[in-house]
Chains A and B, each alone.
Chain A
Amino acid sequence: AQTVTQSQPEMSVQEAETVTLSCTYDTSESDYYLFWYKQPPSRQMILVIRQEAYKQQNATENRFSVNFQKAAKSFSLKISDSQLGDAAMYFCAYKGVSGTYKYIFGTGTRLKVLA
C-alpha cells in the first residue's frame, strides 16, 4: 500500500523569505501523480502544484516549486518570497494512475508566516 509522510508538523518562515516543506512517499508503482494542497483557515482545499512522476522536470507555479526525487521518493515544496497569505496547512498527496483514483494524503504541515 502507498503511504505519504510529512515529518514537519509545523514550520515558520519570515515574510519574503523561502521555506521548504518535506514529503516522502512509498509506492511500488512506476507511474503516479503527486500534489501539494493548501488548506487555509477557511478549510477549502486548494491545489498548489502537481507533478507527474514520468516527468523529470520539476513543476513550478509562480513562487511555488517542487524538488521531485523519484529514486528517493521525495517530493518537497519550496515557497519563495513567502507572503502572509501563504499561512495555511499544506498537505502532500499521492494518486496512482489505475484502480480507484484515491488520493492518499500526508498528515500535513502547518506553515506560519511571520511579519
Chain B
Amino acid sequence: GAVVSQHPSRVICKSGTSVKIECRSLDFQATTMFWYRQFPKQSLMLMATSNEGSKATYEQGVEKDKFLINHASLTLSTLTVTSAHPEDSSFYICSAIWTGAMNTEAFFGQGTRLTVV
C-alpha cells in the first residue's frame, strides 16, 4: 500500500510554545488529508479535513485558531498546535487519500505523541 510518513513520532514541548507536525504522502498525491486525535484507549476523533490548496474544514468543537492546518501541496499537510497546554497532550494521527478514485482507501501516518509540560 501507499506510504504516509508523519513526523515527529514523539515531541515534548513547554507550555505556551507551538509545535508543528508534518504529514507527507511519499508515493501518491494526497488530495485530501485528515487529522485525528486519539486519547488513551479511545477511538480516533476527527479534528479536521484538509484539501490541497484550500482552507481546512474543522469538526465541531475543534478550535481552528489553536490547531492550524496547512495543506499547501499534494504531498504535505501540517498541523500546528499553537500555544500548547498540557491538555493538548495526546496522540495525533494523520491520514491521506487520493480522491481520484471512488474506492480509494485512507493511508495512515505513524502518529505523533505530543506531551506538553
Knowing A33-B103, A45-B93, A101-B99, say if A108 contacts B108 (CB, 8 Å). no
* Residues of chain B with a CB closer than 8 A to A107's CB: 42-43
Knowing A43-B91, A101-B97, A103-B95, say if A108 contacts B105 (CB, 8 Å). no
The answer on a CB contact under 8 Å between B105 and A47 is yes
Q: Output the least CB separation between A12 and chain B (Å).
A: 16
The reply on B72 being an interface residue by CB < 8 A is: no
Contact flags (1/0) for A30-53 with B, using CB distance below 8 Å?
000101000000111101001010
CA distance A40 to B104 in the complex (A): 23
Q: Output the least CB separation between A57 and chain B (Å).
A: 15
Please provide the chain A residues from 56 to 81 with a CB less than 8 Å away from any CB of chain B in the complex.
none
Count of interface residues, chain A, beta-carbon cutoff 8 Å: 21
Knowing A44-B108, A44-B111, A100-B49, say if A91 contacts B34 (CB, 8 Å). no
Contact flags (1/0) for B61-101 with A, using CB distance below 8 Å?
00000000000000000000000000000010101010100
Contact flags (1/0) for A92-109 with B, using CB distance below 8 Å?
000101001111011110
B residues in contact (CB < 8 Å) with A: 1, 32, 34, 38, 41-44, 46, 49, 57, 91, 93, 95, 97, 99, 102-106, 108, 110-111
